[in-house]
């Protein structure tokens, strides 16, 4: 879902197709909000800088502007302004294909303000890079065991979402060898990367790898089956906040084409792993659940721009924008039905939604929990 605006006929500026939305295509920021928040009033107070837009170059590589937020992905062509819609684009004339969007400076300024609103919402919800837990998983043992199958793996899955980010800081393998061993990293059956690890002939010694991953499906860290030290302890797959983990045995010529069977006993692999939230993904995937708070944040930020006039716009042309006391009241007073009051109420509700729907039960405590356990 995108953030945008509905036509209110207060200005002659024509918004581009991406910014002009309806209730079925995105969240409309200027619908059901303070009557002073018209497109004309917004454009009177938001900056319209006289920045230069470079001419289109058919040899240059362009990327999607909504992701890059890089001015070089906006071009002028035959007197019009275009923004790039795809990544790694080259040699496609802006007005001849579907890879460019015809736009204008006013639309770009409103998009920039909308992005600031989204960033404020993410900051409000305190999800940015928030640590869920950091912990060691290992199976300290003196019992020799030959792993079954051709491959053995440790499997990680985020609980019910793909907005969890894992970081493996260190890894250990109690293999009875000192030869380097390949660690195959797979996601949804595809080999993503191969890392070399160095066992210490059965000793539980961790080595740094600093590998981060996120995304849907199973993430598998597999090794060739071999002789290890293990107690074959049971792994409580549901014990950990934000993710589940278990082991697997694979039979096949290579790890990406194995037939895997899953179990819950240790296989000699140990991890120092932390788990955190990727707030951008969470907000994007659940944008509709925060519609009210997004609009209230937009109201507050817009009226604050009117109040402080940070862009030094001199053409204040409506009573609301000239009345500093009224603006102060709407953005500060919490005892009446003001913009500030509605903002704080919707923020409280948005946090309640997160606490209810995300099964690690995020709270107000931003401290990190460290737990050392054995599988």
pLDDT of residue 209: 92
Q: 249 forms bridges with which residues in the sheet?
A: 152, 261
pLDDT of residue 368: 30
pLDDT of residue 43: 86
pLDDT of residue 351: 83
96 burial type by CB count under 10 A (0-12 exposed, 13-18 middle, 19+ buried): exposed
Residue 128, CA atoms < 13 Å, CB-side half-sphere: 8
In terms of domains, do 17 and 153 share one?
no
Q: Which residues in the chain show pLDDT less than 50?
A: 318-320, 359-375
CATH of the domain at 154: 2.60.120
Closest C-alpha to 159, from 210, 222, 217: 217
Collapsing DSSP states into helix, strand and coil, what is residue 2? strand
**Token representation of residue 64:** 């999607």
pLDDT of residue 306: 85
pTM equals: 0.67
| Domain span at 252 | 131-275
Residues in the chain: 375
In terms of domains, do 170 and 238 share one?
yes
CA 23 to chain centre: 24
Find the DSSP H helices in the chain.
Answer: 39-45, 65-68, 105-124, 279-285, 291-308, 319-322, 324-332, 339-357
In terms of domains, do 15 and 119 share one?
yes
In terms of domains, do 139 and 261 share one?
yes
**Token representation of residue 86:** 């795809």
Within 10 angstroms of residue 210's Cβ, the number of other Cβ atoms is 8
Q: Which of 254, 275, 296 is the last residue of a domain?
A: 275
In terms of domains, do 270 and 304 share one?
no
Within 10 angstroms of residue 237's Cβ, the number of other Cβ atoms is 16
């Amino acid at each position: 879902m995108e953030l945008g605006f509905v036509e209110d006929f207060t200005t002659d500026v024509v918004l581009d197709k991406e910014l002009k939305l309806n209730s079925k295509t995105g969240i409309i920021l200027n619908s059901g909000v303070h009557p002073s928040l018209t497109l004309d009033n917004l454009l009177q107070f938001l900056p319209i800088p006289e920045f230069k837009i470079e001419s289109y170059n058919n040899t240059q590589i362009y990327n999607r502007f909504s992701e890059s937020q890089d001015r070089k992905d906006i071009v002028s062509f035959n007197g019009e302004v275009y923004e790039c819609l795809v990544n790694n684009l080259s040699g496609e004339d802006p007005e001849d294909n579907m890879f460019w969007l015809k736009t204008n400076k006013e639309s770009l300024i409103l998009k920039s303000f909308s992005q600031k609103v989204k960033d404020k919402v993410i900051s409000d919800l305190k999800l940015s890079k928030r640590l869920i837990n950091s912990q060691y998983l290992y199976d300290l043992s003196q019992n020799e065991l030959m792993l079954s199958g051709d491959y053995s793996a440790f499997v990680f899955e985020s609980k019910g979402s793909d907005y969890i980010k894992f970081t493996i800081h260190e890894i250990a393998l109690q293999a009875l060898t000192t030869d380097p061993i390949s660690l195959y990293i797979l996601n949804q059956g595809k080999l993503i990367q191969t890392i070399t690890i160095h066992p210490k002939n059965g000793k539980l010694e961790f080595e740094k790898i600093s590998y981060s991953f996120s995304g849907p499906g199973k993430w598998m860290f597999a090794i060739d089956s071999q002789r290890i030290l293990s107690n074959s302890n049971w792994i409580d797959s549901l014990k950990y906040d934000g993710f589940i983990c278990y082991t697997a045995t694979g039979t096949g010529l290579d790890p990406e084409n194995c037939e895997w069977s899953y179990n819950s006993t240790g296989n000699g692999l140990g991890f120092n792993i932390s788990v955190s939230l990727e707030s951008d993904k969470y907000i994007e995937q659940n944008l509709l659940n925060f519609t009210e708070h997004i609009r209230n944040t937009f109201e507050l930020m817009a009226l604050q721009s009117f109040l402080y006039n940070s862009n030094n716009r001199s053409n204040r042309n409506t009573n609301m924008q000239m009345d500093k006391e009224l603006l102060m009241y709407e953005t500060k007073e919490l005892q009446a039905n003001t913009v500030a009051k509605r903002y704080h109420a919707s923020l409280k509700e948005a946090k309640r939604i997160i606490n209810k729907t995300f099964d690690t039960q995020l709270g107000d405590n931003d401290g990190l929990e460290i737990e050392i356990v054995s599988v």
